[in-house]
A and B are shown apart, each in its own frame.
Chain A
Amino acid sequence: MKQTPASSSSPLRVLIASHSHPEVSNGGAEIAAFRLFRELQARDDCQTWFLGCDRKLSSERAGVVLSQPYGEDQYIYCTGGFDWFKFANLDVNFPGEFERLLRELAPDIVHFHHYINFGVEVFQHLKRVLPNCKIVLTLHEYLAICHHYGQMITKNHRTLCYQSSPARCQDCFPEFGKSDFFLRKLYIERYFDLVDVFVSPSHFLADRFVAWGVAPEKMRVLENLTAPASPPAARKNTDGTPLRIGFFGQLSPLKGIGVVFDAAKFLAKEHDNHVGIEIYGDYRAQPPEFQTEFLENLKNTGPNITFNGPYDRERVDALMLSMDAVLVPSVWWENSPVVIQEALRNHRPVICSDIGGMAEKIRDGVDGFHFPAGNALALSRLGDDQSILAGVTARMSGQPALETNIHDFMALYRATTSMD
């Protein structure tokens, strides 16, 4: 992976900015951003820094705005007050400190993974100090479009939402006026205007943002960088139930955990004991009502479900290799779920909802199967004919639908810096 010969005279100066840092949290976005940082760092034609955020640090170290707890070329912004409605950074100290850092590093490119914590005004600060510096922004979910955690799921009924509008958004949030959502968009757009290139990890998310108002000519679709694929291997654990399906990730309603329980109920009713669903994940960060419901479901569920508790990201490959398939039953659109990348890396077919980023990343019958999002009955029937699954497993190439490597990002940066 190391040492691509320098393609131009001077190394490209790149600042990767993420709303978090893998040392602070392990969401997909910050992991992707940090992986990109590491790969760029390994190159000769690039000088790279990482700027992450930590919402807790500011309370620990009074007066500190930028800090370097993890190394010389890594900075942490200790965040201040934030307006989560329009992504405005209320911290009066940030603009000045950020400007000082920019003057010091003088990057050619600042690649943002997310705009929360920095605030959308960060783009203006950057252009004010370094008018020639280019801004690349990777979009990770639909936050700018949707106030409901950027999930484009209606707040009250958890139904899929296809498009935002002041009226639709007010339906979800009657405490706001239509004009508030109108202003929210004006505010975000006023600063998004300064972004030179938007990067979307999926076509689906790209289309949503273009439909919302991002100029299509500014939109690129590039998958997040991921670890290299392992060689194909058969299921390691052969004992127990004949078919083992793994659920990995956060245990939350939107991840479709309810659908999993419902499907297990159908299986139990039919005394179908040839399917075992293994759940790996954590529920403790969820709201108490959900936790109660989850534990209640677990108690009443039949023999088809096993709950294994949280897992380490380091162990995910080994755990997936002990499965016949990986289940991604999310009831929201998703963008490019890390768990899908991990499953493909381990040559495990993915059974997923037939919507959004999941349907895009998993080709039905090629990388796995689709089932109608939220449909537990359909999900329970998928294991009926195990030969189909075996066929897919055999056919799986391990080639994802969209492949991106560091060269794609370098090319994007080069193209972007030569714009105007």
Chain B
Amino acid sequence: MARKPRPPNAEPANGLESPVLAARATPFGGFVDFYGYHRGAGGWVFVGWMTHTANREDAPLRGLAQFTGETIAQQVAAAYFNRGDIAGRGIGFVFFFKTPEKTRQAFEYLSVALAGAVYRIVASPKALQMQTHPLLEWLGPVLSKAEASGQRDALALLLLGKPPSAATSGYVDFYGYHPVAQGWLLCSWVGQGWSAARPPEQLVLSFEEDDLTGESLAVLYPRQDLEGSAQGAVFFVKGPDRAPGRLLSISFLADGVRIFLQPIPDAPKFRELELLAELVPIVQRATPGVQRSRLLGVLSQQRYQGNDTLEQLNLPVFLNTDETILCGTAGVVLIGWFLAKPGVVRALRVRSGVNSAPLDLADTIRIERPDVLAAHSQEGFEDPWCGFAAFVPLSLAPHEQIYLEVETCHDEIGYRNVCPPKRSGLPAVKRLLDHFDFLHADLGHAYDLVLGPALLALNSSRLSARPLVQLLDYGAPPQAPKFSVIIPLYGRLDFVEYQLALFSKDPNAADVEFIYVLDDPAKRAEAQSLFASIFERTRVPFRAVLLDRNLGYAPANNIGLEYAHGTFVAYLNSDVFTDRLDWLEHLAERLDADPKLGVIGPLLRFEDGSVQHRGMTFKRLPEFGNLFFCMHQDKGLRYSGPAEVQRCIAITGACMVLRRELAIDIGGFDETYIIGDFEDSDLCFRLRDMGLDCAVDTSVELYHLERKSQLVSAVSWRMNLTLFNAWQHQRRWGETIAQIEAT
């Protein structure tokens, strides 16, 4: 805390003073000799002298303490004393500003208004900033010299406790840090009459470099070796294990008396095991009560050693995981169950290495587990919704076991290892989604708190490594094609036979670049023999991009785009059919004719001729969390309207044409939509943000033999994945859609 002392008569450095105090000229008004933050009393103490000459002042004092970046202006508790060294030129003062402590504050100056005059008091060149312990030592003599007044007495009580105050009233024999309980343990004795009927208040642990305050426990125990009323005392003070230097003191208020304990010379600082071994028998002898049992709980807290210790807790707590899913480095999904009586468990934490994150069951998806309840009914548990699925944003330490830490109301700690992670990638996505059937009301909670962040993290980790790509050319690819048609394949491959057999009817088929992206690694061998046969049958050149992993619709298309050369790109589903290729030319002409048009698609028909797609609209589905879902206009109906370009909000990705440059500019389809839903609509909205429209050209028609809508399928992981994509789409475009609907 080194700082340059402000020279006398210096002008104010800035305008941060309160208007009242800064209103008049503020010449040099005194020096601060030492100061510091009093952890027990919770405020700043300043001791020094000021150029005020009246001997006694008991009036309320208004003051301002200026720190870098912060001004504390308030009523100040003050006491004054005579300073022989400055005889008649001023008086000594003790000021106390009550305020929460903030880190990294640099003191600049004080400004106080006393008897109509404003005093600007700066730190003397030799001013010392002190920790609580030396502050208390210095304050004792100062305050005892101070003029008697109500203010002085109040201040002395606040800072030092009742007289005889600040005198050492006991000693610390040994101490040490308990890393599991995360706090300091001190074994000591107290000579004064502290009954321990009331727990200590304003407890401050002072080290050479820092003070520490925190939640504390204290017990008294009999010490036969001591005479009179002295008794043993054990303290636990919660706080971090920084390296604060030597222990100076522990002080606290007990019944208004500030007790002040100092370590005996060379008081040993024990390490964890020794500390606990010494303390456990001592605390067992202590006066029974809540403090003693809590302290025993603290002492029982053992370091995690890789094994489950939940059964050793005094109160029954059941906690089990059935599935652990690592979501990259972002966190972990835990699916399991938990049973404990209300109030027994104070906190649940998930830990990995040195990292820890709270597990709050209120933020999980609750799962009905009658099986668990049946197995534990004799223990008197009644809540069948004891299952949970949680996403815990815990930064995972590589190769470290992940475990759960249970802290009970008895300050005990138990550990439970989570089950080993079995699944990653898509199987993990499926597992996560396979067991939930969301009611409308639950959906937001489930996706906002658990499934959304978990799936985003899982998916991004899944896609972070790009797949190995095998590129196969069948026939000679066209030179400088105008069109690249990108067709992802998953599941059925025979569609390629139909598509290319039908395209082969068009004499221009060889001038179009067809890129099939096989996103179904299990089918690679089958695909290669089928592709060879298809090429021989049709002699339409095409390119096959085989992926070694199943990525989903958006990534598969994006990889296809990397291999495309056409001026235009057509995204096409494998179940879209036509025996001519002039649709490409027609749609490209529309784009050429209207620069406001970003993407365009055709009218798509089912096999019976009814409309499959003529542009998409959006509708909130109350049965699915009131999320917006894409609706196909006139689906299933006949279309006999005009053949023309029709603007719409969005079009399907089953067949859309746009310039390749534009597709690259916008990064293709957004890959955070998993497997495939909503990425087409998302692309249209992103174009919209760029000022580009999308449209359907009803003069161009293709068949789209769309399979059953996923929405009508039974509850399954696929349905829930659609909900995830809808949730994600909603977060991005919900407002946009609402605005469009409003106009």
Contact = CB atoms under 8 A, between A and B. Distances in A.
A190 B536 CA distance: 16
Contact of A92 (B501, B532, B579, B607): B532
Contact of B501 (A96, A178, A179, A187): A187
Interface string A67-96: 000000000000001010010111110111
B579 A187 contact: no
Contact of A121 (B498, B529, B537, B705): B537
B607 A190 contact: no
A100 to B, nearest CB: 13
Given A121-B501, A178-B607, A179-B705, A186 B577 contact: yes
B705 A92 contact: no
B524 interface: no
A166 B607 contact: yes
A102 B536 CA distance: 16
A92 B533 contact: yes
Contacts of B532: 92
Contacts of A91: 533
A190 B505 contact: yes
B533 A90 contact: yes
B660 interface: no
A183 B705 contact: yes
Nearest to A89: B537
A190 B502 CA distance: 7
B533 A183 contact: no
A81 B538 CA distance: 16
B577 A92 contact: no
B504 interface: yes
A128 B536 CA distance: 12
Interface string A170-196: 000000011100110011001101000
Nearest to A119: B537
B238 interface: no
B549 interface: no
B210 interface: no
B502 A186 contact: yes
A178 B607 CA distance: 9
B97 to A, nearest CB: 80
Contacts of B537: 88-89, 95, 119, 121, 124
A94 to B, nearest CB: 8
A118 B504 CA distance: 18
Nearest to B705: A179
Interface string A140-153: 00000000000000
Nearest to B607: A182
Given A121-B501, A128-B539, A190-B579, A179 B533 contact: no
Interface in B556-582: 575, 577, 579
Contacts of A94: 536
Contacts of A124: 504, 537-538
B536 A95 contact: yes
Please classify how large the interface on chain B is, using the bins under 10, 10 to 19, 20 to 34, 35 or more: 20 to 34
B536 A96 contact: yes
B705 A182 contact: yes
A92 B536 contact: yes
Nearest to A124: B504
Contacts of B363: none
B33 interface: no
A186 B536 contact: no
A119 B537 CA distance: 9
A92 B707 CA distance: 31
B511 interface: no
A374 B269 CA distance: 105
A186 B533 contact: no
B497 interface: yes
Contact of B538 (A121, A182, A183): A121
Interface in A95-152: 95-96, 119, 121, 124, 128
A320 to B, nearest CB: 45
Contacts of B495: 183
Given A121-B501, A186-B577, A187-B498, A179 B607 contact: yes
Contact of B498 (A89, A128, A177, A183): A183
B533 A81 contact: yes
Nearest to B499: A183
A351 to B, nearest CB: 43
Given A121-B537, A124-B504, A190-B579, A88 B607 contact: no
Contacts of A190: 501-502, 504-505, 579
A186 B504 contact: no
A191 B497 CA distance: 13
Q: Which of A124, A177, A182, A183 has the most CB of B within 10 A?
A: A183
Contacts of B577: 183, 186
Contacts of B530: 90
Contacts of B502: 186-187, 190
B497 A88 contact: yes
Interface in B451-510: 495, 497-498, 501-502, 504-505
B212 to A, nearest CB: 72
A186 B505 CA distance: 12
Contacts of B607: 166, 178-179, 182
A230 B378 CA distance: 97
A349 B538 CA distance: 50
Interface in B526-542: 529-530, 532-533, 536-539
B498 A186 contact: yes
A71 to B, nearest CB: 28
Nearest to B492: A180
B494 to A, nearest CB: 8
A81 B497 CA distance: 15
Nearest to A81: B533
A301 to B, nearest CB: 47
Interface in A280-335: none
Interface string B96-124: 00000000000000000000000000000
A166 B609 CA distance: 13
A178 to B, nearest CB: 7
Interface in A187-239: 187, 190-191, 193
B484 to A, nearest CB: 24
A128 B532 CA distance: 19
Contacts of A119: 537
B248 to A, nearest CB: 83
A190 B506 CA distance: 11
Contacts of A90: 529-530, 533
B542 to A, nearest CB: 15
A94 B495 CA distance: 22
A193 B505 CA distance: 10
Nearest to A80: B533
Contacts of A128: 539
A178 B608 CA distance: 10
Contacts of B497: 83, 86, 88, 187
Nearest to B535: A92
Nearest to B531: A92
B579 A186 contact: yes
A166 B608 CA distance: 9
A180 B530 CA distance: 18
A86 B502 CA distance: 13
A96 B537 CA distance: 10
26 contacts: A81-B533, A86-B497, A88-B497, A88-B501, A89-B537, A90-B529, A90-B530, A91-B533, A92-B532, A119-B537, A124-B504, A166-B607, A177-B705, A177-B707, A178-B607, A179-B607, A179-B705, A183-B495, A183-B498, A183-B577, A186-B502, A186-B577, A186-B579, A187-B502, A190-B501, A190-B504
Given A88-B537, A95-B537, 11 more contacts: A81-B533, A88-B533, A91-B533, A121-B537, A121-B538, A182-B705, A183-B498, A183-B705, A186-B579, A190-B505, A190-B579
Closest 9 A/B residue pairs (Cβ): A179-B705, A182-B607, A90-B533, A121-B537, A92-B536, A95-B536, A183-B498, A92-B532, A92-B533
Interface of B: 495, 497-498, 501-502, 504-505, 529-530, 532-533, 536-539, 575, 577, 579, 607, 705, 707
